[in-house]
A and B are shown apart, each in its own frame.
Chain A
Amino acid sequence: MGNPAGLVKAAPWKDPGVRPYVEIEHLTKSFGDFKAVDDVSLRIYKGEIFCLLGPSGCGKTTLLRMLGGFETPTSGRILIDGEDMTGVPPYERPVNMMFQSYALFPHMTVEQNVAFGLKQDRVPKVEIAERVAAMLALVKLDGLARRKPHQLSGGQRQRVALARALVKRPKLLLLDEPLGALDKKLREHTQFELISLQDQLGVTFVVVTHDQEEAMTLAGRIGVMNHGEIVQAGTPTEIYEFPTSRYVADFIGSVNIFEGKLVEDEPEYVRIRSDELGGTIYVSHGISAAPEATVWAAVRPEKIFMSTSAPASADNAAHGVVQDIAYLGDLSIYRVKLDSGKVVRVTRPNTTRHAESITWDQPVFLSWDATSPVVLTT
């Protein structure tokens, strides 16, 4: 976050010379016939924040629990810092976990909760006191050291859990929906706190979340999961701008997907004929797909221009009627019904107070740049 040094080290996953800190190799976990995690391979590098993102029940927690050692993989293996973790119990792994339910010890004070991990390592008493105090100050809980967990608010409990997991200075911290219990404002605030903490301590974070906005804010890279598989892993920009499947395009943000047939397939451009659009889509880069294959063009709502006058080009254009407008303050969302019957979502920032007024039931023209659509084959 605004740290130039942080930006320089930004992409260790692109450098083949850097050894990953965590290597997950063909990891599978079955519960009976059901595969909760299905052949997942991932590399996570030192100092990054990696987010596991996916809908409820897709296996995020199960994957995290295998990293922590609470669940034994059915097959595959996990290497941390080059060491095979198979058969290493949780209490001997260089990993700490922040639980979805926080799991604070109810019979101990905040201070004792945070000190617990250090006591297990037989750290000298004086040092424990110092480190606990410093950690509590870092998460801004200094005044509450003597309280019991049930005397704290949800946000305070969450910070105790974080302090307890961080005080041992783990190399790898696993966070399972760390901000799930917080309201929206506090959540956003805490997200930035988490990032700056991570930056200060240099710990590698693996964060589980089902909130895509949270993943985009926190993560250096995101792994999108579905049905136990990682469907795509990459930076937030890559995932958002260059999704590789309709699932990812649809899951991250909102998107308009037009089904069509590939009619021209050249190395520099492709043209897609889409009945859903009622026209052709021109994309200024080549793709690898068979001619006449069914493909899907995904266009983000903010990349669509809306106007009352007809666009110059015949490609990447459509005509429709405004069906619905939602005013969100910073931007407005328009639902436009095309002549083909398909409803398209368009967003426009409210940059001026009296923008060219487009209202309900007004006929409009939609268009977009040749660089905007993403062509998906699956």
Chain B
Amino acid sequence: MNARRSFFVLTALAFGFAFLYLPILSMVVFSFNASKLVTVWDAANSPTLKWYRALLDNEEILGAAWISLKVGVINACGAVILGTLAGFGLARFRRFRGRFTLSAMTTAPLVMPEVITGLSLLLLFVALEQAIGWPAGRGVTTMTIAHMTFSMAYVTVVVQSRLSSFDISLEEAAMDLGAPPVKVFFVITLPIIFPAILAGWLLAFTLSWDDLVISSFTSGPASSTLPMVVFSKVRLGVSPEINVLATLTITVVTTMIVGASLWMARLEKAASGAPET
């Protein structure tokens, strides 16, 4: 019985992992392929770093990566600030006028189809430009604002759920010792929930980094992000450079996630004296 179940579990696990990681693995392998045809393995000249070199010379892709990075970082910072404030308000002030509206508004982007979010933002930007002349045209600015609207929602949820398990008597104790509320927020609350805020930042960055639909709606002619470039290239046929790009992305993302998890684990340990958190 036990042996059979463990056999079943192992098989299921193996299939699951294969399903998830085989495509990625094959892509990594093919990034070292010498052939121009992505589906044909050129055994004679492989493995090679040829396509890695080609990628470094590809201005279009590098430019797009730079734009993606810029949008991603600014978006993540903005989303973290707005999301933390919203999450704090929702978690702390149990009853205030407009609480329901705020709660619905911040979480709506989580369930809204991207096409609708994108389209409505595009309409808004066009209308704003006609009315007040800002934002002039579409580009990095509009994309960043658009990304913020939905990634802020995720940060809000993360921060709000962290604060719901926050021991409020810590804040009261700080106030009791003479710290006014604003100071309490910055020296007590913020440091303690910092791991959650960091997680929110990474989430916001990742969401922005691989967003395609909303970016397509709100970008301008000279501001294609990486996913947009990749997508347009793939439609003309997959080039080996894309495999390289994907491999690099995966490497960076994996490193980032592992690094961040380790860091957060350390922060969490340092920040949570109470064993129950």
Contact call B177/A104, Cβ cutoff below 8 A: no
Contact call B169/A90, Cβ cutoff below 8 A: no
- Quick one: which of A68, A100, A104, A105 contacts B176, CB cutoff 8 A? A68
Number of A-B contacts (CB under 8 A): 76
Contact call B270/A107, Cβ cutoff below 8 A: yes
Report the nearest A residue to B177, measured CB to CB.
A117
Contact call A99/B177, Cβ cutoff below 8 A: no
Chain A residues near B170: list those with CB within 8 A.
Answer: 103, 105-106
Contact call B270/A148, Cβ cutoff below 8 A: yes
B129 contacts A by Cβ under 8 Å? no
Given contacts A91-B178, A101-B167, A120-B179, contact A106 B172 (CB under 8 A): no
Contact call A120/B177, Cβ cutoff below 8 A: yes
Contact call B273/A90, Cβ cutoff below 8 A: no
**Proximity string of chain A (79-98) to chain B, C-beta cutoff 8 Å, 1 when within and 0 when not:** 00000000001110001110
Given contacts A70-B172, A97-B173, A105-B188, contact A117 B270 (CB under 8 A): no
Chain A residues near B180: list those with CB within 8 A.
Answer: 89, 91
Contact call A90/B176, Cβ cutoff below 8 A: yes
* Contact count band on B: 20 to 34
**Proximity string of chain B (174-198) to chain A, C-beta cutoff 8 Å, 1 when within and 0 when not:** 1111111001000010011000000
Chain B residues near A121: list those with CB within 8 A.
Answer: 178
B271 contacts A by Cβ under 8 Å? yes
Complexed CA–CA distance, A91 and B174 (Å): 8
Complexed CA–CA distance, A148 and B269 (Å): 10
Complexed CA–CA distance, A91 and B172 (Å): 9
B275 contacts A by Cβ under 8 Å? yes
Chain B residues near A107: list those with CB within 8 A.
Answer: 191-192, 270-271, 273
Contact call A90/B175, Cβ cutoff below 8 A: yes
* Contact count band on A: 20 to 34
Contact call B272/A150, Cβ cutoff below 8 A: yes
B44 contacts A by Cβ under 8 Å? no
Report the nearest B residue to A68, measured CB to CB.
B176
Contact call B273/A106, Cβ cutoff below 8 A: yes
Contact call A117/B178, Cβ cutoff below 8 A: yes
Chain A residues near B43: list those with CB within 8 A.
Answer: none
B171 to chain A, nearest CB (A): 9
B132 contacts A by Cβ under 8 Å? no
Complexed CA–CA distance, A91 and B175 (Å): 5
A116 contacts B by Cβ under 8 Å? yes
B274 contacts A by Cβ under 8 Å? yes
Chain A residues near B176: list those with CB within 8 A.
Answer: 68-70, 90-91, 95-97, 165
Chain A residues near B177: list those with CB within 8 A.
Answer: 91, 96, 116-117, 120, 164, 168
Complexed CA–CA distance, A203 and B272 (Å): 32
Chain B residues near A168: list those with CB within 8 A.
Answer: 177-178
Chain B residues near A70: list those with CB within 8 A.
Answer: 172, 175-176
Complexed CA–CA distance, A99 and B175 (Å): 12
**Proximity string of chain B (11-54) to chain A, C-beta cutoff 8 Å, 1 when within and 0 when not:** 00000000000000000000000000000000000000000000
Chain A residues near B169: list those with CB within 8 A.
Answer: 99-101, 103
CB-CB contacts below 8 Å: A110-151 with B: 116-117, 120-121, 148-150
Chain A residues near B273: list those with CB within 8 A.
Answer: 104-107, 148-150
Complexed CA–CA distance, A90 and B173 (Å): 9
Chain A residues near B191: list those with CB within 8 A.
Answer: 107
**Proximity string of chain B (255-277) to chain A, C-beta cutoff 8 Å, 1 when within and 0 when not:** 00000000000000011111100
Complexed CA–CA distance, A168 and B178 (Å): 10
Complexed CA–CA distance, A164 and B177 (Å): 8
B93 to chain A, nearest CB (A): 16
A366 to chain B, nearest CB (A): 50
Given contacts A99-B172, A107-B191, contact A91 B274 (CB under 8 A): no
Contact call A90/B167, Cβ cutoff below 8 A: no
Chain B residues near A120: list those with CB within 8 A.
Answer: 177-179, 183
A115 to chain B, nearest CB (A): 10
Report the nearest A residue to B269, measured CB to CB.
A150
Chain B residues near A89: list those with CB within 8 A.
Answer: 175, 180
Query: Considering residues B173, B175, B270, B275, which has the most beta carbons from chain A within 10 angstroms of its beta carbon?
Result: B173
Chain B residues near A106: list those with CB within 8 A.
Answer: 170, 192, 271-274
Listed in ascending order, the chain A residues whose CB lies under 8 Å from chain B are 68-70, 89-91, 95-97, 99-101, 103-107, 116-117, 120-121, 148-150, 164-165, 168
Given contacts A106-B271, A106-B274, 15 further A-B contacts (CB under 8 A): A69-B176, A89-B175, A91-B176, A97-B176, A103-B167, A103-B170, A105-B188, A106-B170, A116-B174, A116-B177, A121-B178, A149-B274, A150-B272, A150-B275, A164-B173
Top 10 A-B pairs, shortest CB-CB distance: A106-B273, A120-B178, A117-B177, A149-B273, A150-B273, A103-B173, A103-B169, A90-B175, A107-B271, A91-B175
